[in-house]
Structure 1
Amino acid sequence: MISMEIRNTLALSASICTILQFLAGVLVCKKYIRNGSTGDSSGLAFVTCFMSCSLWLRYGILTGDLFIIFVNVFGTILQICYILIYILYNVKRSTTIKQFTIAICLISLVYLYSIFQKNRVLAEKHIGFLSCSLTILFFASPLISLAHVIRMKSTDSLPFPVIMSSMIVSCQWFVYGCLLSDQFIQIPNFMGCILSAFQLSLFLIYPSKRTDQAYFI
């Protein structure tokens, strides 16, 4: 009973922190609206996160995990809003529209497979594997900017609050995955912990020289 209470409390805390992390995109969209343009930024991060939330939502439904369902329903709706705002304020919107359309088609195929797959356990494993793989790719995407940071010996381009929140969220979901003995939750969040810790260590190695850094912009 105690372990159940601990697990639920941890899942609730992780869900709240994840939702707050998702809401960071509001600041980015406010910048788009204020400037009337998305500038040189890419909408791929929103599309990727939309796919990740949609897949985890299906995995949560298959496993009957209400916490995973709740947080990813919120995340999926929010990412759709972000994508629509990005498309609205982007001059070359055709690329993002194509990416979003492809993402919807792929997710639809995955959902149809999971619905018509009679072996529910097999469907759960396949959706879990896809969700896990996409999350690992999402966590690995900052490695491109890390190469720039190491080359320039400066962390000015790294958003410290975002990385710190990623560290906290990843650790919480990793522990939750351990309590459930769910490797699909454990593995990507363990990777997230390692990558976030590495990025945070760079702030000690290459302290930022800027005092007015806009972390979320």
Structure 2
Amino acid sequence: MLKKVHIESLLLCVFIPSRTSLRSIALFMASLSFFVGIIGNIISLLLFVSPIKTFWGVVKKKSTENYKGVPYITTLLSTSLWTFYGLIKPDILVVSVNGVGAISQFIYVTLFLIYAPKDTKVTMAKLAAILNVGFLGAVIVVALLAIHGNLRITIVGILCAALTIGMYAAPLSAMRRVIKTKSVEYMPFLLSFFLFLNGGVWSAYAVLVKDFYIGVPNAVGFVLGSAQLILYLIYKNKSASAKAMKAIEEDGSVHRNKDDEDDGDDEGNLKNRSLSKGNSLPKPSVNREHSLQKITKTLSSSNYELQCSSWANEAGIENGKLDNP
């Protein structure tokens, strides 16, 4: 009996970790999640600063041209809500990245409203007021005053996850266009690659910190980013060959136009030469007072012009053979 109890205690010591080992595992997981979160912050910041070049051009031209303001307005709402979520949870890494994102998107929206045409400016200003002032303010007030405890985190987390899934699903139209046109011209590789990385890193972070609301939308983003990269690999060569064929066709049309112009010039030259030849012929005269020298000169000039005409025809044929094989 004593031996049995001794063996069971030994087994418990081997298979059940002590408090010290559990504390070490918890510290390791916390350190790993913080490290992964830092990487996620860096990738997300790269995505947030990517429109700087676009808006620098907007400021220089003082026009938004054909750019749309809706993506920046919705991204401002999403980053603001995620910042609020990170504050009530709390999660410093979520607050830091989305706080910077909200500031950058606010700057983009402000610049867009400054340089947009009047009609677009009014429409986008109304949309920004409804979403980023009215809706966001209502969510914050209701969450702080009417909802308490875990329910507050649940409701805000669901809203954040829904907005993030919508943002990740936005490139689906670009993917459909790639499949339809068999060209990756309108789906930049770097953007797809960073969306893939962003979704993957934040999905890993969500697993480590056990946050369902961060994990689900970023897992969707990871899957969609992977699909975009696969499409890019499939249609990259087809897109390049299509561009090459288009360039060849354009080059051929240019050559044909030049040939047509050259042919037209040759025909014009021949007509001019024939007219000049007709003008150079001696007028018939009733009086037969022409010297032998004048007759010889006229015949020699006619032969020379005929030779020029034949050389022009031969040159035209040779050019035609070279340009149109």
TM-score, normalised on structure 2?
0.63
- Unpaired runs of 5+ residues, structure 2, are 1-26, 245-325
Q: Does 1:136 align with 2:162?
A: no
Paired residue total? 211
Residue from 34, 46, 50 that aligns with 1:24:
50
Mapped pair 1:44 → 2:70: yes
Question: CA separation in 1, counterparts of 2:38 and 2:212?
Answer: 19
Quote the residue 1:9 is aligned against.
35
Q: Which amino acid aligns with 2:54?
A: V
- CA–CA distance in 1 between the matches of 2:197 and 2:136? 28
2:151 counterpart of 1:151? no
Q: Does structure 2 retain, via aligned residues, the 8 Å contact 1:62–1:120?
A: no
- Is the Cα–Cα contact under 8 Å of residues 54 and 76 in structure 1 kept in the other structure? yes
Alpha-carbon distance in 2 for matches of 1:118, 1:87: 35
SS of structure 2 residue aligned to 1:93: helix
AA of the residue aligned to 1:100 = A
Residue number in structure 2 paired with 1:87: 113
Q: Distance in 2 between matches of 1:108 and 1:84?
A: 19
Against the structure 1 CA distance between its residues 64 and 154, is the aligned structure 2 distance closer, same or farther, given a 3 Å change threshold? same
Residue 101 of structure 1, aligned match among 103, 118, 129: 129
Q: CA deviation at 1:16?
A: 1.6
Question: What residue number does 2:208 align with?
Answer: 179
Structure 1 residues 83-107: Cα deviation after superposition (integer angstroms, max 9, x where no partner): 0111111112111111111112100
4+ runs deviating over 2 angstroms: 208-211
Of residues 164-173 and 31-40 in structure 1, the stretch that sits farther from structure 2 once superposed is 31-40
Offset at 1:169? 1.2
- Distance (Å, rounded) in 2 between the aligned partners of 1:167 and 1:90: 31
1-structure distance, mates of 2:161, 2:45: 19
Alpha-carbon distance between aligned partners in 2 of 1:159 and 1:99, rounded to the nearest angstrom: 28
* Partner residue in 1 for 2:251: none
The reply on whether 1:166 has 2:192 as its aligned counterpart is no
Q: Percent identity?
A: 27
> Match for 1:196: what amino acid?
G
SS in 1 for 2:184: coil
C-alpha root-mean-square deviation of aligned residues, in Å?
1.3
Q: Find out whether 1:56 has 2:82 as its counterpart.
A: yes
1:158 partner SS: coil
Structure 1 unaligned segments of length 5 or more: list them: 212-217
- Largest Rg, 1 or 2: 2
Task: Name the structure 2 match of 1:123.
Answer: 152
Q: Does 1:192 align with 2:218?
A: no
Give the Cα–Cα distance (whole angstroms) in 1 for the partners of residues 102 and 135 of structure 2: 15
SS at structure 2 position matched to 1:39 = coil
* AA of the residue aligned to 1:51: L
Cα deviation for residue 32 of structure 1 reads 1.3
1:198-217 Cα offsets, whole Å, 9 max, x none, are 11111111114369xxxxxx
Taking the aligned partners of 2:178 and 2:123, their CA distance within structure 1 comes to 28
